[in-house]
Chains A and B, each alone.
Chain A
Amino acid sequence: MTSAGLRPQSETTRGLALGGSTAWTPSPAGVNLHGQTWTRFMAFLAARAGDAGPADVLLHGPSGIGKSYLLRRFYWEAFDGQDAQIPLIATVAPEPFRPADWSRRFLSEIAQQWAAFVCRDPALAEANALAPSRVVEICHRARLVALADALTEFEELAPSADAGALAVRWAFEAVAHAAAALGHRAILMLDGVENAFWNEGGGTLSLAAVVEPLVDAPSALRRIWAGRTAPRGAHPLLPPVPATGDQWEVHPLPFEAAAEYAARLAREVRLDYDNHLLNDYLSLWGGIPRWLANFVRKAAESPRSLTMADQLLQFYMEDVLAGATAQRLGRALNPPVGSFFEPAAIARVAEKCLAQEGGAQRPALVGSASFAAGDRPVLERLARAELAVYDGQEWRAPDVPVLADFLALYVACHFHRQSRMRSEMAIKRRRLAETPQRARERDFAASCRRISLLMHTFRGQNVPGPLLAAHRADAGVQTGTAVADQVPSHQAATLAARRAAPVSSLARIRIPYCISTFVVEPDRGAGADRTAAQRQSPTGSARAIPAVVGWCFEEPGYYRSEESIWIAYVCDAKVITTDELSQIERTTSRLSRELNVQQTVSWLITDARFSPQALGRLADLVLYTSTWPAFEALGEILLDTSRESGSTDADEHRAAPTRTHPEGDADRASQRPSGMRIAGAGSEGNGASVVELRLPPRENMELIAARTTEHIAETCGFSAEAAGQIRMATLEACLNAIEHSVNEEKEVRVLIEGTPEKISIVVENEGLVFDPQSIEDPRIEEKIHGSSKRGWGVKLIEKFMDRVVFEPYDRGTRMRMEKRNPSPARVRPAASRT
């Protein structure tokens, strides 16, 4: 047998036919999945087996860890190796397990693989299971008479559990006979052996009947079992595993390997995602390759990229709720055949396990007060599904977050029926708070708030130029000295000067009247640039730079000709290089183009040093820079000025004067209500119509969003009825968002994306976190005679839309809803920019 390096082709395309009844973890080309484990496993087998006696090894570990991958790799290595060991692999079918059917297939597959090896026919080995008659024919041709006879005889037996057990025994006797005749030794690999334990209720064939013939088989067989079953004694409630000679545990991938694996998979399916972000969340999947693969595949099916932590978390929650893992767990808890326990009973026991998560109340031994005697079978069931873990002392929730979260949601659904959304939100809050990326986002959000406040509050004031125009420190640029080195002295000088002189004498730059601010996602560039950005390590210097955009006018009146945007870039890199400056230029150019604004002012806020090349480039850019201390000083100065002049921001904000626009400049802005802004509208490359609205939280603003959404739905080909439903749902969502906004200074943001297939709407408010579960499901009988008649909105939205998700975010509540078009029709041309 060889244990040479990986075969060049993707493992996803080879070997899938082998015992294909259980899912197994794919490995993209070039990824040495479980590379170290593989090497050590080979050494272990070599040491145990020697040249003489048989090896009997149990390969165990949690679901999706890569046991099947290792078995298949072992199979192909042996098949290619031509070292006189015949690889045979079979999978015990997952639930529901029917012993007679499985035995028939087992015998046929073993015969087929034996023939493939003898004939050195990889195509036959890779092929799906052939009809038994065809296998008999092939066996005869390969002179495997004993196998052909066993197969023929079995076909004549009536299907039954006894016949199944007989088939297994015959298979091994025949294999042993053939091996002895050929002078070979066979290696039997049995995958999914845990199914033989767990399905005893689905048939009469016991574990012993399936496995013992294999264990008792002649010494010409080497046996490797793989299964989720833990070693003997680890689970006091589970049946013991066969008395195998050795056990080998497969562990989750280490972080680096998991990150590399996810990155390769993402590249294969062309998933656009933020590397840093995904790395932060890898721990949620616990380094389990199959779950990572499921996640990447699912995310790749979504039209949106994974660039926001909460977006990623939403995918995670979908995985928890409806992903492949969730489906498998759901099947395990509620099998289609022979459901022994009520969901509520499972939930009751699960809740006890969950209560022990975190370990404050330890230990609760089985049979103690924590679990009643009647709980034992339920606990056993949870253990089989990997949802309860016994660590030798106590039962508790699994350490892997995705499993613990599934369990928590299962309890919420089946035990506390009203609390599912609340549970989802609680999980999201906890997970969001856990990652370093989230911490960075929180810092950034705080920065955004400070910048927004400055833009909103101090409009129309003059500010000390040096605080904003650090790069115009000519001496610094000319001498090549880092500007960052110069800035503190500028600030010190400015602050000192401020103390000595009236503020007005320092004023040079005028802050315009800002009517709204919004945050733009980082611009990573397109095509090759994007790929390059993804390849950056978490510590790389080309981190994408987010920005706060202020929509401004020179004067209090909203003249179109005076419209401009101020873009404040927040960069937390340690060194500003030309990469960062290029990125800023690109974003400025893009925003200027997309927002159709002629005047832009860029402002970089950073404490970073500038590289010499960046300093050289600065001279050519129109870019204000300031450090965070300078930013703080700016706020302080403006606040003082504001106090001196006696005006308050609130007064000015409320005034928001709307003047008649001059003739000839009667653009659409003149028709908007005060404060409302269409932040962006147009068509994306994939044909989607996208509109973003920012609404002041005032009465009747919801109508604007509702009508816009209805229009987009109709444009995308939705029926009038569906468009009406979408309108109503949007109306209610915005109504909710407005109602839960803190005050009128805040915004309600509505993002509408319509395609012929579906329409997606996101409504965000800035204010109180709205918990839909705090509202009881309204019933007409109770409402008519009750004191509160309200509380219908969420029910209406859920009825009219296909998918509704509430989630907290750092400024308030975000609601996502989606409706699919059951009959997507030909689409009218998308609305052009408005």
Chain B
Amino acid sequence: MIEKPEVETVEREDHAVVYPHGYLNGSKGEQIDLACADLMRKGVNRIIINFDYAETINTTGVASLLSLLERVGRRKGVLCFCNLMSANRQMLDVLDVSRAVLIFDDEEEARRHLTERHASAD
């Protein structure tokens, strides 16, 4: 019943995708943060977080995501969210978090955005 912390990372050519699993609370948010910090140390600063396997996000998880957003911003990187479940998406909307981060319906759309909009910026 109580999920083990689990965050998967997949590195692609010019970006990386992070897949948090299960319940995204404060501690799992920190794991995402750590995973992304590793990626950025390797020079990957375009990151997609795919929430397809994240059933529930709480506000401590949101706080961790905001820390991550700040960290990525400081590195002039790009952070995108995708595959958010309806209730989670609603939560980000009502908290105005969706104004601060790019949110896409699916991973393909997020990837396309990174390729088209941010590749030229490089």
Give A contacts to B, CB under 8 Å: 673, 699-700, 702-704, 706, 720-721, 724-725, 727-728, 731-732, 735, 778-781, 783-785, 789-790, 792-793, 795-796, 799-800
Contacts and interface: CB of A to CB of B under 8 A. Distances in A.
B23 interface: yes
A724 B87 CA distance: 6
Contacts of A724: 86-87, 90
Contacts of B86: 720-721, 724
A699 B25 CA distance: 10
B66 A783 contact: yes
B102 to A, nearest CB: 14
20 contacts: A673-B1, A699-B27, A702-B58, A703-B56, A721-B87, A727-B56, A727-B87, A728-B58, A731-B56, A731-B58, A735-B59, A783-B63, A784-B73, A784-B100, A789-B63, A789-B64, A792-B63, A792-B95, A795-B95, A796-B91
B31 interface: no
Nearest to A724: B87
Contact of A780 (B1, B3, B73, B96): B96
B96 A779 contact: yes
Contacts of A795: 94-95
Contact of A700 (B2, B64, B90): B2
A737 to B, nearest CB: 13
A790 B59 contact: yes
B67 interface: yes
A796 B94 contact: yes
Interface residues of B, number: 28
Contacts of B94: 795-796, 799-800
B99 interface: yes
Nearest to B64: A789
Nearest to A673: B1
Nearest to B95: A792
A703 B90 CA distance: 18
Contact of B60 (A721, A735, A778, A784): A735
Nearest to A703: B23
Main secondary structure on chain A at its contact with chain B?
Answer: helix
B40 interface: no
A14 to B, nearest CB: 52
A554 B2 CA distance: 28
Given A673-B2, A703-B23, A731-B56, A796 B87 contact: no
Given A731-B58, A784-B100, 7 more contacts: A673-B2, A699-B27, A720-B86, A725-B87, A789-B62, A790-B59, A799-B95
Given A792-B62, A793-B59, A778 B70 contact: no
A790 B96 contact: no
Contact of B63 (A673, A727, A790): A790
B69 interface: yes
B97 interface: yes
A796 B66 contact: no
Contact of A732 (B58, B69, B97): B58
A784 to B, nearest CB: 6
- Nearest 4 CB-CB pairings of A with B: A724-B87, A789-B63, A792-B59, A780-B96
Nearest to A672: B1
Nearest to A723: B87
Interface in B99-115: 99-100
Contacts of A727: 56, 87
B63 A780 contact: no
Contacts of A784: 66, 69-70, 73, 100
Interface in B1-58: 1-3, 23, 25, 27, 56, 58
A367 B12 CA distance: 77
Given A785-B70, A790-B63, A728 B91 contact: yes
A703 B58 CA distance: 10
Contact of B58 (A673, A735, A778, A785): A735
Contacts of B96: 779-780
A780 B59 contact: no
B100 A780 contact: yes
B118 to A, nearest CB: 20
Contacts of B59: 732, 735, 790, 792-793, 796
A770 to B, nearest CB: 15
B55 to A, nearest CB: 9
A706 B63 contact: no
A243 to B, nearest CB: 61
Contacts of A796: 59, 91, 94-95
A512 B1 CA distance: 29
B70 A780 contact: no
Nearest to B73: A784
Nearest to B85: A724
A725 B1 CA distance: 21
A589 B90 CA distance: 47
B90 A725 contact: yes
Contacts of A703: 1-2, 23, 56
A704 B2 CA distance: 9
A673 to B, nearest CB: 7
B23 to A, nearest CB: 6
B76 to A, nearest CB: 15
Contacts of B99: 780
B95 A778 contact: yes
A790 B60 contact: yes
A604 to B, nearest CB: 39
Nearest to A734: B58
Contacts of A728: 56, 58, 87, 90-91
Contacts of A720: 86
Contact of A789 (B3, B66, B90): B66
A728 B23 CA distance: 12
Given A673-B2, A778-B95, A795-B95, A789 B56 contact: no
B81 to A, nearest CB: 14
User: Max chain A CB contacts within 10 Å: which of B60, B69, B91?
Assistant: B91
A731 to B, nearest CB: 6
A30 B69 CA distance: 70
Nearest to A739: B60
Nearest to B93: A799
User: Max chain B CB contacts within 10 Å: which of A706, A778, A783?
Assistant: A783
Contacts of A799: 94-95
A419 B45 CA distance: 43
A358 to B, nearest CB: 40
